[in-house]
Amino acid sequence: MANAVVHTVLLGKDYRLGPQVVRALREVSLTIEPGEFVSVMGQSGSGKSTLMNLLGCLDRPSAGSYLFDGRDVATMTGDELARLRNRHIGFVFQTFNLLPRLSAAVNVELPLAYARWPRSDRHARVAEVLAAVGLAERAHHHPAQLSGGQQQRVAIGRAIVNRPSLILADEPTGALDSRTGIEILALFQRLNREGNTIVVVTHNPEVAQFTNRIMHFHDGRLTRDERVAHPADAAAALAALPEAEPEEGRAA
């Protein structure tokens, strides 16, 4: 399932708040092909986070269908959905969601442990991933000893360690300063060039300009779906910024 296609047909999601029904997502049909780098844009309440939850199999639709690699997720049991999330979907969150008492290496290793990889294979894969996100020398640091940018790199490492079919990132630069945010986008662009399919939820048009496709949501509907002919180059944007001080952790 390394090159899964994501496909929704008239996808809808309703929430009941007392006597009221809130239509968070309305008849959304879309396809995300392998290797795409997509941004989902919209203001608060537009439905973009609801879409992210459905694509990540964290919630079930109220209407329509969602096919992951040709299989309707509505036909999957709870255990099958858990395996799908663990082995084929990587999640990156705005607030990192790292376990504070565990080192960077152990945080990255968790999905492999849940997937029951042999210990020796886990350690080799974690070392490979930490090197890929530029944190090989920080493997034994805990989150409190890392800067925000470094914590997000750990979170990205955790998301990619199982070689997922789809990476879902919810406002991944929202808690970072502008320079560090561009560094994270440069990492996403490199991962995308290596073949990873990435969907980023954002309200920030400056983030969306680094992706290859922008989906605009308003009041639960997909209102515009546009290809970006020439996405901004995050590495070039970084090179144009004044040289920064070396990134240090929060503690020695």
- Is the Cβ–Cβ distance between 71 and 80 less than 8 Å? no
Angle at 27 between CA 24 and CA 28, to 5 degrees: 85
pLDDT of residue 4: 79
Question: What distance in Å separates the CA atoms of residue 32 and residue 15, rounded to the nearest whole number?
Answer: 25
Residue with tokens 């800067």: 147
Q: How far is CA 228 from the centre of its chain?
A: 20
pTM score, two decimals?
0.93
Residue with tokens 């203001």: 43
Sign, CA torsion 83/88/93/97: positive
- Residue 62's region, left for phi above 0, alpha for psi from -120 to 50, else beta, is alpha
- Is the Cβ–Cβ distance between 21 and 182 less than 8 Å? no
* H-state helical runs in 40-177: 48-55, 78-88, 104-114, 119-132, 148-160
Give me the amino acid identity at 150. Q
Three-state SS for 16? strand
Nearby residues of 45 by Cβ (< 8 Å), 6 or more positions away: 219
For the record, the structure tokens of 158 come out as 């955790």
Domains, the chain, ranges and CATH? Answer: 34-57+79-239 (3.40.50.300)
- Is the Cβ–Cβ distance between 136 and 130 less than 8 Å? yes
- Is the Cβ–Cβ distance between 60 and 74 less than 8 Å? yes
Question: Mean pLDDT in each 10-residue stretch from start to end of the chain (252 residues)?
Answer: 81 91 94 97 93 94 94 93 94 95 97 94 96 96 97 97 95 94 97 96 95 97 96 95 66 39
pLDDT of residue 1: 47
Three-state SS for 102? coil
pLDDT of residue 251: 44
- Is the Cβ–Cβ distance between 157 and 172 less than 8 Å? no
